[in-house]
């Protein structure tokens, strides 16, 4: 089975408050997306990389790939309005070679480690669908419609989701095929699609890391710079 990293880079940067999509902002003198590409480019068990990005930024990505001679990048695809549109673009790209694992990763999580990627691949090879997550240290409140506390879930059973999220091609394709036939489908992440439309498909957790942060707000850039300094 071929291991394909799908970098989801469709963000607009609105929450960052910049005109440039956040994946092109720099940490440690490199665009965020370059860190993410290199995490998979340099991993020995990743065979290909598929980048899904807003069509307006294909030129920038193609230049970045060419200048750095990244040999594993096979596709640069256009994403859609929702995250699920980007996932579907990757699924469609591989419909002729379905003997693959698709490893979906947020391009704005630039510090995913070699250990996390290896553990995800090992779980896939054991026949599992996979999500990466870390324990929550905070108490979580569930609210009702009046925004008052309805319940306090057991913290030991809660995890903070990260990426990658990874599946065999056949599993993720089947889940999205069912989702697309549902007129009430609400866009969510890939685990949410599999959980809803293939409820008998167990999704196993691989331990994430606190450093596997998602760059969403301006203050995350400072934290990212601190993480980069330690590498």
135-166 tens-digit pLDDT: 999 999 999 999 999 999 999 999 999 999 99
Asked if residue 190 lies in contact with residue 90, where contact means CB atoms within 8 angstroms, the answer is no
In tens, the pLDDT along 118-132 reads 999 999 999 999 999
Cα distance between the two ends of the chain: 31
Tell me, what's the pLDDT at 16? 54
Mean pLDDT score across all residues of the chain: 94
Sign for the CA dihedral angle at 209, 85, 11, 142 comes to negative
Q: What percent of the chain has pLDDT over 90?
A: 85
Q: Give the pLDDT band (50/70/90) at residue 20.
A: confident
Calpha distance 59→135 (Å, rounded)? 39
Looking at residues 36-40, what average pLDDT do you find?
98
Whether residue 21 has pLDDT greater than 90: no
User: Residue 12's domain spans which residues?
Assistant: 2-229
Q: At 43, which CATH number?
A: 3.90.550.10
Q: Phi and psi dihedrals of 201, rounded to 5?
A: -90, 105
- Contacting residues for 229 by C-beta, under 8 A, at least 6 apart: 28
Q: Find all residues with CB under 8 Å of 172, minimum gap 6, and list them.
A: 87, 91, 102, 190, 193, 194
Residue 90 · residue 52 · CB < 8 Å = yes
Per-residue model confidence as pLDDT tens digits over 164-202: 999 999 999 999 999 999 999 998 899 999 999 999 999
Residue 229 reports pLDDT greater than 60? yes
Residue 222: per-residue pLDDT? 83
pLDDT for 1: 92
Order of strands across the sheet with 48-53?
73-78, 48-53, 2-9, 100-106, 159-168, 129-135, 203-207
Cα atoms in the Cβ-side hemisphere of radius 13 Å centred on 217:
1
Overall number of domains in the chain: 1
CB neighbourhood size of 230 (10 A) = 7
pTM tops 0.85: yes
Interval 85-108 mean pLDDT: 95
Q: Name which of 8-17, 43-52, 209-218 the model is least confident about.
A: 8-17
Question: 64-68 long-range CB contacts below 8 Å, 24 or more apart?
Answer: 64/31, 64/33, 64/34, 64/37, 65/37, 68/34, 68/37
Q: What is the pLDDT of residue 17?
A: 55
Q: How far apart are CA 134 and CA 212, in angstroms?
A: 10
């Amino acid at each position: 089975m071929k291991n394909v990293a799908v970098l989801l880079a469709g963000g607009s940067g609105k929450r960052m408050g910049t005109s440039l999509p956040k994946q092109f902002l720099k940490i440690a003198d490199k665009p965020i997306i370059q860190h993410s590409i290199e995490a998979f480019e340099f991993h020995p068990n990743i065979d290909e990389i598929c980048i899904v990005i807003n069509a307006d930024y294909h030129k920038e990505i193609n230049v970045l790939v060419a200048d750095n001679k990244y040999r594993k990048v096979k596709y640069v695809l256009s994403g859609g309005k929702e995250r699920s549109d980007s996932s579907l673009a990757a699924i469609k790209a591989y419909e002729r070679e379905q003997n693959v694992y698709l490893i979906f990763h947020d391009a704005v999580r630039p510090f995913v480690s070699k250990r996390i990627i290896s553990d995800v691949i090992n779980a896939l090879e054991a026949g599992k669908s996979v999500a990466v997550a870390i324990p929550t240290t905070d108490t979580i409140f569930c609210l009702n419609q009046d925004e008052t506390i309805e319940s306090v879930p057991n913290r030991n059973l809660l995890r903070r989701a990260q990426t990658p999220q990874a599946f065999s091609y056949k599993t993720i394709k089947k889940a999205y095929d069912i989702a697309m036939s549902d007129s009430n489908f609400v866009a969510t992440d890939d685990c949410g699609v599999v959980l809803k439309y293939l409820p008998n498909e167990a999704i196993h957790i691989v331990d994430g890391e606190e450093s596997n942060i998602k760059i969403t707000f301006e203050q995350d850039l400072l934290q990212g710079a601190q993480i980069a300094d330690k590498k």
